[in-house]
Structure 1
Amino acid sequence: MSEHYAPVSEHLDDIAEGTSAGHEMEFRDLEAARKEGRRKMDWALQHMPILQELREQFEADQPLDGEVIGMAMHVEAKTANLVELLALGGAEVAITGCNPLSTHNDVSAALDANDDITSYAVRGVDDEDYYAAIDAVVSHEPTITVDDGMDMVFTIHEEYPELIETIVGGAEETTTGVHRLRAMDADGELKYPVFAVNDTPMKRLFDNVHGTGESSLATIAMTTNLSYAGKNVVVGGYGYCGKGVAKKAAGQNANVIVTEVDSRRALEAHMEGYEVMPMAEAAKVGDVFITTTGNRDVITREHFEHMKDGVLLANAGHFDIEINLDDLSDLAVEEYEARDGVEAYEMADGRRLNVLAEGRLVNLAAPISLGHPVEVMDQSFGVQAVVVRELVENAEAYDAGVHDVPDELDREVAEIKLAAEGIEFDSLTDEQSEYMNSWAHGT
């Protein structure tokens, strides 16, 4: 195992020179970085009532006592509050990034100052150091994994299978990771239980729709200083994330075009009032392209060849494979940075196609991005926390494979949120419950 890869606090040069999520903020020293990271975390926690409630419960009950949690996540202020919650519950936590451009160095340094947490996340690392940091997390010999994209689970299965016997289970946060896990499970290769947090209602209905929709559009607007009003915004994919992007773009007076490969989703988008067409046709008229599929090669050479001058290309899927940058680079006669976070590819005919955040997850990898709104991530991370607790308390109930989050846990998180907002709601009477659960009642 790669035990020699240093925690973030030993990357003092990276912190001192560098930035937090691309902001031009130089830190005098490591202590200054930690202070700024803590300030961000404290602000986020003020607006995370679910995690506040769970912090009290976990600190009092110590449900994770003796566990070692290995995490590969977007290391920023909201995630950091989940990490500290798990540590307060009794766990030793080791964490690194799940995307080379989504780490906030100051937040990573603040986490690493906690005696129960080791953070290896540093923004802007190359592929070698990215995977070396994952190896370093695995060197802690985790008993539970928490992933965003499945790189941690994959690494353990491929390189450290001897650890699987002592792993209680895991949790996966995002669509791409769940797709990979389900494929792995179908092949009989997933050797411990993992909860598909992404697929639970509290994640899909809020994080994917409102979180991805709002944060992606906000990041693109702030990065480019351009408006959506009157523009043709092409949304690649109409899953939960695509629905959110389309809905929020329409709310900002854009003309929304949806591309899809699934007939029912294409019909759904049509019935919601959006234009639906193949990407080959959308490429000719689009002004802003946002991919949300989790699949590769959504936008390729055949599309670049027909795009208008000045188009914006952004990816709101997990990995940087949805926009084929190799094809784009082959077509370009010149590449240059048009603006912070915007790479212009100039074609032979003078057209400029602009790629945001290197084609990576735009709402987390762009220079001024901050990720999903705090309130949204409070809900998703609340589900992550109760799932980890469930793995420890009821491990024997789950065999190796992908598992849905138990409905009562999802509802627990929703009820904490409603209580914090002072919102009351109805409940079924005994008679109503009996009626709904019986097949004997006729007309």
Structure 2
Amino acid sequence: MSTDADPDVIDRLAERAPLLDRCADRFAERRPFSGRLIGVSAPLTPHTGRFLEVLATGGATVLVAGEAGSTHADVVAALRRRAEITPVTAVEDEVETPSEESTADEADAPSEEAALETARHEVIAAEPDLIADDGANLLVPLCRDFPDVAADVSGACEQTTGGITRLRRLAEREPIPFPVYDVNGAPMKQRFDNVHGTAESSIAAITSLTNAMIAGSTAAVIGYGHCGRGIARKLRSLGARTTVTEIDPRKALEAIADGHDVQPAAEAVADAAFVIAATGRANVIGREQLTAMADGAVLASIGSETEIDRDVLSELAADRTRIEPGVERIAFADGRTIRLLTGGRVVNLSAPGSAGNPVDVMDATFALMARGLEAIVDGEPTGTGLEPIPEALDRAVAREKLATMDVTIDGDGTDDRIEP
């Protein structure tokens, strides 16, 4: 007998996340997080919800703060039905799924950011034992402003390029008093999630927002790290003429060897129909790039919400018009216009209807996060500050992923001769 009732959004996704299912089975038996509070900051998407549920299966109490432009009302509602998980949202009860109001209205940004900061401080004030972070939005204020709370944290995992960049800068000024696993640096995260997942979801978001064709277009990709590399390759495979900008000469050479043109950013954006920032760093699209950008260009970020200098953009804009959900037309005094997507926030998370990277890759990334937190509880990291995910753990997740795909390889994947 069939039913038309829509199942729980997290339950609906669980069957497509076999690695997290394996973690759930493992955690249900071991209960590694019993009696522990885990603080989380992350986009509140369905796959994040499943990750939180798996942590709770391991005995954790979970307190989670959402992120700007990527909080889904159905996920928040589903989480509130799970007694061990408490979502701390910027808006009481009703949280908008990414929409016209939440993705393209710059006027709302300051108040929303203030509300999000309050939510994160509430998570920190609860004195979590462990932290799972996205963008270091919990870890930076925790270490900088709440040293007494930080002193009692057992450890953390950070999964993004931008977050790791922020933590490295933080560590230059003051020590991080507990171990933080660099999940973003794990080969499984870099080669699978960053290169392929981010590229596919970001290009899908950009084309859905603009109804523009990639084939035959010109595109400038700012940065050739793993995310930028994946974006540039996917764009080129779809028929775009691609130009890469880089500050690292080795990555620039790699981009040339991969078949892309390489130019300084101000030159690359002057001829590009699409400009995509993919560095994870702040203000890489600033005054020089904005004043050089081609008339009619589409501007998007996939690295972080700070890649585009919003203050300079507001200064240069003669007029700003929201033309459709997630798309804003910026007019400059010289007559040029550009289309800014999702207010400069991470486009694959903030576009209307978008849930970020495909569940296939987020399943592996969140499995790394969950197993990393388990390793911290088990006492595996012995130092403080940023540490790589253990090689054996990374390979174990890769082997499990292959098994779910019915793929076998020579050996068992543990040979010391294998390149990391």
- TM-score, length-normalised on structure 2? 0.90
CA distance in 1, matches of 2:162, 2:48: 18
CA shift, 1:87, in A, is 0.2
The 5 A counterparts of 1:187-206 are 187-206=173-192
In structure 1, give the amino acid aligned to 2:282: R
- Residues 426/189 of structure 1: CA separation in 2 closer, same or farther (3 Å cut): same
The 5 A counterparts of 1:300-319 are 300-318=286-304
CA shift, 1:415, in A, is 1.3
CA shift, 1:100, in A, is 1.1
Deviations 1:308-367 (A, max 9, x none): 32110000112x222223323322221101221111111234321110010011111122
- Residues 152/50 of structure 1: CA separation in 2 closer, same or farther (3 Å cut): same
CA distance in 2, matches of 1:52, 1:333: 51
Aligned residue pair count: 396
Match among 401, 407, 413 for residue 423 of structure 1: 407
> Could you list the runs of 5+ residues in structure 1 that have no partner in the other structure?
1-34, 438-443
Q: Which residue pairs with 2:336 in the alignment? A: 351
CA shift, 1:224, in A, is 1.1
Moved more, 173-182 or 230-239: 173-182
- Residues 249/167 of structure 1: CA separation in 2 closer, same or farther (3 Å cut): same
CA contact (8 A) 1:105 1:121 kept: no
CA contact (8 A) 1:109 1:119 kept: no
- Measured on the aligned residues, the alpha-carbon RMSD in Å equals 2.0
- Residues 266/429 of structure 1: CA separation in 2 closer, same or farther (3 Å cut): closer
Does the residue aligned with 2:8 lie in a helix, a strand or coil? helix
> Could you list the runs of 5+ residues in structure 2 that have no partner in the other structure?
96-101, 103-110
In structure 2, give the amino acid aligned to 1:111: L
Q: Which residue pairs with 1:107 in the alignment? A: 75
Does the residue aligned with 1:305 lie in a helix, a strand or coil? helix
Q: Which residue pairs with 2:106 in the alignment? A: none
Q: Which residue pairs with 2:98 in the alignment? A: none
CA shift, 1:428, in A, is 7.1
Q: Which residue pairs with 2:159 in the alignment? A: 173
The 5 A counterparts of 1:219-298 are 219-298=205-284
In structure 2, give the amino acid aligned to 1:150: A
Q: Which residue pairs with 1:376 in the alignment? A: 361
In structure 1, give the amino acid aligned to 2:46: A
Does the residue aligned with 1:166 lie in a helix, a strand or coil? coil
Q: Is 1:96 aligned to 2:65, yes or no?
A: yes
The 5 A counterparts of 1:359-398 are 359-394=344-379, 397-398=381-382
Match among 291, 311, 321 for residue 326 of structure 1: 311
Deviations 1:270-298 (A, max 9, x none): 01100111112112210000000122232
- TM-score, length-normalised on structure 1? 0.85
Does the residue aligned with 1:75 lie in a helix, a strand or coil? coil
Q: Is 1:66 aligned to 2:35, yes or no?
A: yes
CA shift, 1:207, in A, is 1.0
CA distance in 2, matches of 1:415, 1:373: 19
CA distance in 2, matches of 1:411, 1:189: 29
Q: Which residue pairs with 1:405 in the alignment? A: 389
Moved more, 41-50 or 336-345: 41-50
CA contact (8 A) 1:75 1:121 kept: no
Match among 43, 47, 50 for residue 16 of structure 2: 47
CA distance in 1, matches of 2:23, 2:177: 29
Indicate the structure whose relative CO is greater, using CA pairs within 8 Å and at least 6 residues apart.
Answer: 2
In structure 1, give the amino acid aligned to 2:384: A
